[in-house]
Every structure is written in C-alpha cells, then in structure tokens.
Structure 1
Amino acid sequence: MTLDERAARRRYATVSALFWLPLGLSIAPLVLLLTERGMAMTAVAGFFAAHSLTTAALELPTGGLSDVIGRRNVLAAAGLLNLAALTLLGLGTTPVLLGLGMALMGAARALSSGPAEAWYVDTVHAHAGPDAELRTGLARGATATDAALAVGTLTGGALPWLIGLAPELGARLGEATSGLVLPLSVPLLLGAAVEIAFVSYALSALPEPPRPPTPLRHVLRDVPATVAGGLRLGGRDALVRRVLVSAGAAGSALATAELLTPGRAADLTGAPESGAVLFAALACAGFACAAVGAHLAPLTARRTGGGERAIAASLTTSAAGLLLLGVTTALPGAFALALAAVGYGLVYLGLGATGPNENDLLHRRVSSTGRATALSVQSLALQLTAALTGLIVTVLPPGPLPWSLAGAALLAGALLWARGGSESRPYAIPDATGGPDATAERRPGHGRPLGGRTGARE
C-alpha cells in the first residue's frame, strides 16, 4: 500500500508524538525518583552517563540497521526497549536495575534516531516522486515531537504532585505494590503503557515495501558498510558538512541551556525548590516554543527566500536568545527573570524552526539506502558536541561567558548558511553505501518552496 502525502504526514506526526510522549513523562520525576530510591547524586550522574555512552556507541550502527532491515522493525524495537527501560526505572530499587534501565533507554534513543523520518521521506518519494515537497511534513513531525514533550513534561511533573494531595492514595499505592510503586513512579509506568500503543501503531500504520529476507551474516556485513558510507558522505558533500556543523552548534546551545538554566533559575528565585519549579515551567515552555518554531519552518523558508536563509535566520534567533540569557546574569530581580524567560523561549523557537529546513536539504542529498544513517550521523554530531560543551561550560566561571560562547557557536553556524542559493544549483544525491544508485542529477530550483504545496494543511 502506497500512502499519499497527507496520510504520510499524519502518520509520521502520530508516531513521533507517541514515541516522545513517554520520554516527556519521565523528564520531571526521573532524578527525584532515583534519589528517592536512595541513590546518591554521583550514582545518578553515572546512570545518565550510561545513557549517553550507550546512545553514542550505538548511534551509527543502529542507523545502518534501519537502512538494512527496515524502518518499521527498528522503530518497534526502540519502543520495546523503552518499555523495558521505563518499567525498570519505575520499579527498580537497585543500582544494577536502574543503570540497566538507563542503558536500555539510551539504546532505544539510538534506534529511534532516523527511522520514522526516513520512512516518511521514502513514502512521499514513492507516491509523488523525488521532487515532492518535504518541508511541511518534516515540520509537522517536529511540531508533534515538541508538543508531546511539552505535554509529557507538564503531566509527568503534575501527577506525583496530584497524588501527594491525597496522602491516603499514595499510601494505598505503596501497600498494594510492597513499596515498589511510589508516586514518582507513576509517570514512568504511564509512559511504559504508552510505549505499547507506540509499538502497535508503528507495526500497523507504517507500511513499507517488502524487503528480501536478510540472513544475519548479511546484516552484520551490510551495516558496517552503510555506516562507513554515511561517514564518507559528510566528508565529500559541502552541504551535508554544513548540516553537521549546524547540528554541532545546536548541540552546544542545548547543552548550555539545559545545564546552566536550573542553577540560573535557582539564583533568580532565591531557593533551589522554587528554582526547580521555575525550571520545570521553562522546560515545558521551551518545548512549546520549539513546536511553534517547527510549525513555522515552511513559512520561514518562504519569507526568507529558501531553506538555507531560513536556517541562517533561525540559528541567529537562537543565538540572540543565548546572548540575552547571558545578559540577565548581570541583572537583578523580576526584570532579569522576564528577560531570561524571553531568551529561553527564543533559543528553542529558533532551533525548532531550524530542524525541518535543515533536514529538507539533507534528504535531497541522500538516497533511501543511506537515509537513516545520514540522520544518525547528524544526531551523533549534535550529541558529541553537546557532551564536549557540557564539560567546558561547567568549569567556566559563572556569568555571561558560557552563554556568550554558545551564542557565538550558533552565530558561526548561521554564517555558513547566510549566502543561501546553493540549494537552487544542480547537485547529486550520493548513496551512502556508494552503490549503483550513487548519483542522480537534480534540476535547478529543487529544494525551494513549491508554491501552494509548501503551505498545504491537512
């Protein structure tokens, strides 16, 4: 069955929301739940390191796996791993089980990096040809992702609080489960239930062309070749290199905002407890701003004259937000709080608008056989740069310097796209594996907004 563009957009947005909603539910209660289980903060840091290292180690191999055995199967595997991870984290009481849960979540994150988006692009190309407009659908998926994270963060923070308003309910919950289920466990277990719906939807609603049976030895042989092709792609294509550099700049911005904002919120409110409440509200608002930015990505491309100029404008917006956050470190009181909220929103608004326009260009440079791998290379560039930035900004003296450095990284990324115009020149789509379909000549003008179809609404 070949889906038309509107149906593909709807299903891509739905599967994106279903995947990220459970993770959003875990954002607010996770650290508190781990400490409630008796884990020291050093152990908590170790759990998160297990998550990050597992994701980084598996990012490229799992992208290659998706290109070899199919998008739907890999998405379902990611959902099952998240189901196991959230269950272990919600019920686990020992460091081994909790660490295993975080590692499984990292593996699921690596598996999920690219297959859904690659499925959407493959489906649209199969129905409408290689000249099909992609930006609107990519924007819908990003909007659904950020909206799910915003709703999940708000719900995950509110559920334990609501249970706490009825102490007898929490007590009965603990008694019925012999203390395994705490109020802070509830959002994670709810997320595990949503994962069942995600796996069912991925398997039933994302049709793919039949793939020939692939023996295990062929999978083991083809995945490394696909990974190597994805790495070569970044080295030989100037536009793809710009996408990767921009992803690294975005990683720097996200690491800075996520690591420094909680402490800055505590400074602004005067207490860690009230700072935590402020940060939860800011996180929810940030995801909402990213959703708005993603939704406006096609309009941004039309108004600025193309995807490249839209990326430059969006990254500049995010850089302005980081610089504004740096300015607030020298200001007191409510005025600084208001400016900080505006700056935080601008960071996520700009990054939300950047993603669909970047990926629209990226998908026009790669073929189906290497599409998920290319997305994994992009994700890896973001994660590795974020990890390096995190090590740097946490040792810099507090004040405007860390924010300014991250803002400068985004401005440098924006300058790479400032000229624009290269998306209107002929170019080739390399196959990441270097296979016989390695190049296909494209017509000038491809990649620019295509009249009314760019702004089509379902």
Structure 2
Amino acid sequence: MSAGTHTGAGLDERGARRRYVAVSALFWLPIGLTIAPMVLLFTERGMALAAVTGFFAAHSLTAAVLELPTGGLSDVLGRRAVLAAAGLLNLGALVLLGLGTTAWPLALGMALMGAGRALSSGPAEAWYVDTVQAAAGPEADLRTGLAKGGVATSAALAAGTLLGGGLPWLLGLGPDLGARLGDATGGLVLPLSVPPLLGAAVEVAYVVCVLVALPEPPRPPATLRAVLRDVPVTVRDGVRLAGRDGLVRRVVLSAGAAGGALATVELLTPGRAAGLTGAAESGAVLFAALACAGFVCSALGNQLAPLTARLAGGSGAGVLAGLGTAAGGLLVLGVTAAFDEGRGAGAAGALAVAGFCLVYLGLGAAGPNENEVLHRRVASGNRATALSVQSLALQLVGAVVGLVIGRLPGGAAPWLVGGAVLLAGAGLWARPERSGARSPDVTHPRAGGG
C-alpha cells in the first residue's frame, strides 16, 4: 500500500497540523462545556444519585463496547466519515441532555455520547499522521503536531469547563431570569441546560469542519457485506499487532497505567476538595478550578513533549520522564492526604495542588511521545484500530483501579495505589528502545484482497 493511500492530497505538514488542531479543539470544547453542569443538571431534573451513576455507566459501557469495532470502521471506511458520524451522535446526545426531563432520554443521551467518544477515538490523529507521512515521508516529524493537537484538546477542555460552569451562574444572577427561561420553554431549558445546548451548536461547526477540512482520496464503494467482513479482520490484526510488537505493547500498557492514574485523581479529588473547604458547594467550585488547572498543565505538558524527548534522549525516554513526573505527583497527593486536617493543613493543601498539577503535566508530556512511538510501528491500515486498543486499555485499567480504590479506607492508601500503577507503567520504558525497523505492516484488508 502506498504512503498516500489514506491521505488528503495537496496538504503540506503545516496545513495538516492546522486542520488537526482545529478539529481537536472543536471536538473537545462541547465535552468541556458539560463537565461542570452535567451532574447538577441531572439532579435539577429530579434524578436520584443511583440514576445519575447509571447514566455515566451507560456512557462508559457504550464507549468500551464500541471502541475496537469503531476503530476498525475508521480503517475500513475512512477517517472523515467516522469523525462526522461522531459529531452527529454527540449533537443528538447534547440536545437530549439539554432538553431531557425524564430518565430514558438522559440515559440515551449519555449512551450516544459514549458512542460518539468511541467513534472519535483515533480517526483524526490517524488522518493527521497519514497526511504528514504522505507529504514528507515516513520519517516526517510527528511529535510536534501530536503535541499541538494535545494542547488544543486541553485548552478546549479548560475553556469549556470555565464557560460551562460560568454560564449557569451568570444566568442565575438575575433573580427572575432562570425562571423566565424555564417558563418560556415549558420547563425544557434551565440555566444548567444552556452549556450542553451551546455544545450542540459547536458540534454543527465541528461536523462542517470535518467534512470540509479533512480531505481524503476516493475510496472504493463499501458494501455492508464488505464492512461486516473487513472490520473484524482489521480489529483482529490490530490486536495481534499490539500483542506481538514489544514497543506497541509498551504503549498500550502505559496507556492503561495512565488510565489508572486519571481514575484515581478524578474519583478522589472532589471529595478531598469538599473536605478541605468544609462544604460540598465550595468544594465543587474548588474542584472546577483544579480541573481547569489540570487541563492547562496537560496543555503545557503537551507543548513540552518534543523538548522532553530531546533532553531525555528519545521518545521512549520522554515517556519515562513524563510518567515518572506524574507518578511523583500522585505520591505527593498520597503523602499530603494524611495532613489535610490539623496544623499542617495549609502547607499540605499547597503541596497537594502542586502534586495535582504534576500529574497532568507529566501525563501531557508523555502522551505525544507515546503516540509517536505507536505511529512509527503501525501501518496506515491499522492506525485507528491501534489507537482504539490504546484507548480501551486506558478505560479498562481505569475502571479496575477505580473499583480497587473505592474499597480502600481514606487517607494515603488510595492515592498510593494509583501512584504505584503509574510507576509500573513508567518502568516499562526504563529499557532502551530498540532502533530497528518497525514491525511488519498489517495491511488494510481491502489492499490485501482478503
């Protein structure tokens, strides 16, 4: 298969990078808009905690079940079609979440968002790598563009979190504004509904951007029979590659370790913030501020990823440095958890914030270096599938670690479990990378005539 088989003709490296950055930002901005208001919107609609956790389970399970098949679908049908479908699913999801008043529309909205998340996992990055390698050859610099895409993602999440948390508050400043809004729409639109509905409008721009800005060469018409045949073959070949290639296996396992670290932080930080401030409401404000700071630190880490690799001596060493930094941040969070109350609470709180920022800074620096290693080892025909395998590892290990730490007593122990998992992931990169040729390409099933 030629290098340009799956690429957009006529784009140079800089043009491809700009379009990849724009698509990354537009996809994640609507997600960021929902981070702060979503749980509160569900409770405002009268949903009990059990129902709320069920909604999030619907999202996670849908994303996990569809992760690999949708990655294979991108490798068979093309990047642009799958990304546009992800945007349309998210558009429908955000409308349901913004306007739904009963459990079934809200659960369906979360499931649709999970499906959109699975569809979006990999195709944009695969399009970027394919396009750059077609323009500049297989040894083209990938790390800079991957880093900038990570910066755009983190910046969009940070901006969305601030905007999504601030808009309902601003609408609530007028004593009758929220009530008038609800009365005018028959109770469908509340102040907390505005962020997801704004996100739905952004999704329209995202779909247009994908269809216009991500050119791909014409593909042979795909029949339903061919898709049903080729997608499982592509998934099987991608999973086999992850199993037999040592470097790809390191990427997948260290992604799982990162998932464990993120689960630890996301599950434990809200309660710890509420404990530090003394109330759930003020704790929620502190958590929103910390989440925004985390996204900013992740963006900074992404930006520093190329420099980290140069200073460390290669992409693998850059991953080791990034994951080691993040593990250090988790260990700081664990140690300071014992001092959240009492005379040392102020200093412990400041150190905990520093540890929190180190986690996201380190993970941000590791990500582009991990993915550069991955793209050097994986052929175009299985690139999105390999990214889906990586994403699935992150989700599954995160779920397992979450279940483990949920059964542990409070204090340092849960944080230290997350830190130990991440240290194990960093240790995978302590061995030097082999500099030989990448493993044999797994060709696209159509190209191979299978």
User: Residues 362-441 of structure 1 correspond to what in structure 2 (within 5 A)?
Assistant: 362-422=374-434, 424-431=435-442
> In structure 1, what is the Cα distance between the partners aligned to 2:348 and 2:183?
46
Percent identity (aligned):
71
Q: Offset of 1:433 from its aligned partner?
A: 5.4
> 149-158 or 162-171: which moved more?
162-171
Gapped runs of 5+ residues in structure 1? 438-458
> In structure 1, what is the Cα distance between the partners aligned to 2:72 and 2:110?
23
**Maintained 8 Å contact 1:225/1:433:** no
- Choose which of 251, 264, 268 in structure 1 pairs with 2:259: 251
> In structure 2, what is the Cα distance between the partners aligned to 1:167 and 1:89?
25
> In structure 2, what is the Cα distance between the partners aligned to 1:383 and 1:433?
26
> In structure 2, what is the Cα distance between the partners aligned to 1:369 and 1:190?
36
Give the letter aligned to residue 355 of structure 2: G
**Maintained 8 Å contact 1:230/1:370:** yes
Q: Offset of 1:406 from its aligned partner?
A: 1.0
Q: Offset of 1:430 from its aligned partner?
A: 2.7
- Choose which of 239, 244, 251 in structure 2 pairs with 1:231: 239
Give the letter aligned to residue 162 of structure 1: L
> In structure 1, what is the Cα distance between the partners aligned to 2:126 and 2:176?
48
Aligned residue for 1:417, secondary structure, equals: coil
Q: Offset of 1:330 from its aligned partner?
A: 1.1
Q: Offset of 1:435 from its aligned partner?
A: 8.3
> In structure 1, what is the Cα distance between the partners aligned to 2:206 and 2:318?
33
Aligned equivalent of 2:75:
67
* 2:176 is the counterpart of 1:165: no
Aligned equivalent of 1:283:
291
> In structure 2, what is the Cα distance between the partners aligned to 1:99 and 1:128?
45
Q: Offset of 1:116 from its aligned partner?
A: 0.2
> 163-172 or 80-89: which moved more?
163-172
Q: Offset of 1:270 from its aligned partner?
A: 1.6
* 2:158 is the counterpart of 1:146: no
Give the letter aligned to residue 268 of structure 1: L
- Choose which of 303, 312, 317 in structure 1 pairs with 2:320: 312
Give the letter aligned to residue 154 of structure 2: D
Give the letter aligned to residue 12 of structure 1: Y
Aligned residue for 1:58, secondary structure, equals: helix
**1:123 and 1:176, CA in 2 relative to 1: closer, same or farther beyond 3 A?**
same
Aligned residue for 2:176, secondary structure, equals: helix
**Maintained 8 Å contact 2:76/2:444:** no
Aligned equivalent of 1:322:
330
> In structure 1, what is the Cα distance between the partners aligned to 2:180 and 2:274?
34
Q: Deviations over 1:138-193 (max 9, x none)?
A: 00001100110000001100000011111222222112111100000000000000
Aligned residue for 1:337, secondary structure, equals: helix
> In structure 2, what is the Cα distance between the partners aligned to 1:165 and 1:60?
45
* 2:51 is the counterpart of 1:43: yes
Q: Deviations over 1:43-87 (max 9, x none)?
A: 000000000000000000000000011000000000000000000
Aligned equivalent of 1:55:
63
> In structure 1, what is the Cα distance between the partners aligned to 2:247 and 2:386?
13
Aligned equivalent of 1:222:
230
Give the letter aligned to residue 383 of structure 1: Q
TM-score by length of 1: 0.94
Aligned equivalent of 1:296:
304
**Maintained 8 Å contact 1:64/1:372:** yes
> In structure 1, what is the Cα distance between the partners aligned to 2:445 and 2:425?
28
CA RMSD of aligned residues (A): 1.3
> 6-15 or 162-171: which moved more?
162-171
**1:175 and 1:371, CA in 2 relative to 1: closer, same or farther beyond 3 A?**
same
Aligned residue for 1:296, secondary structure, equals: helix
Aligned equivalent of 1:3:
11
Aligned residue for 1:39, secondary structure, equals: coil
Q: Offset of 1:268 from its aligned partner?
A: 1.3
Runs of 4+ residues deviating >4 angstroms: 432-437
Q: Offset of 1:336 from its aligned partner?
A: 1.8
**Maintained 8 Å contact 1:5/1:124:** yes
> In structure 1, what is the Cα distance between the partners aligned to 2:367 and 2:202?
26
**Maintained 8 Å contact 1:2/1:123:** no
TM-score by length of 2: 0.95
> In structure 1, what is the Cα distance between the partners aligned to 2:266 and 2:55?
17
> In structure 2, what is the Cα distance between the partners aligned to 1:173 and 1:302?
54
Q: Deviations over 1:251-293 (max 9, x none)?
A: 1000000000001111111221111111010000001100000
**Maintained 8 Å contact 1:2/1:126:** no
**Maintained 8 Å contact 1:88/1:98:** yes
Give the letter aligned to residue 339 of structure 1: L
Gapped runs of 5+ residues in structure 2? 1-8
**Maintained 8 Å contact 1:230/1:432:** no
**Maintained 8 Å contact 1:174/1:180:** yes
**Aligned pairs, how many?**
437
Q: Deviations over 1:384-404 (max 9, x none)?
A: 001111111111011111111
> In structure 2, what is the Cα distance between the partners aligned to 1:13 and 1:52?
26
Q: Offset of 1:434 from its aligned partner?
A: 7.5
**Maintained 8 Å contact 1:134/1:360:** yes
**Maintained 8 Å contact 2:256/2:397:** yes
* 2:39 is the counterpart of 1:31: yes
* 2:96 is the counterpart of 1:84: no
**Maintained 8 Å contact 1:24/1:151:** yes
Aligned residue for 1:426, secondary structure, equals: coil
**1:434 and 1:303, CA in 2 relative to 1: closer, same or farther beyond 3 A?**
farther
Give the letter aligned to residue 326 of structure 1: G
> In structure 1, what is the Cα distance between the partners aligned to 2:323 and 2:436?
23
> In structure 1, what is the Cα distance between the partners aligned to 2:85 and 2:31?
16
Aligned residue for 1:299, secondary structure, equals: helix
**Maintained 8 Å contact 2:21/2:152:** yes
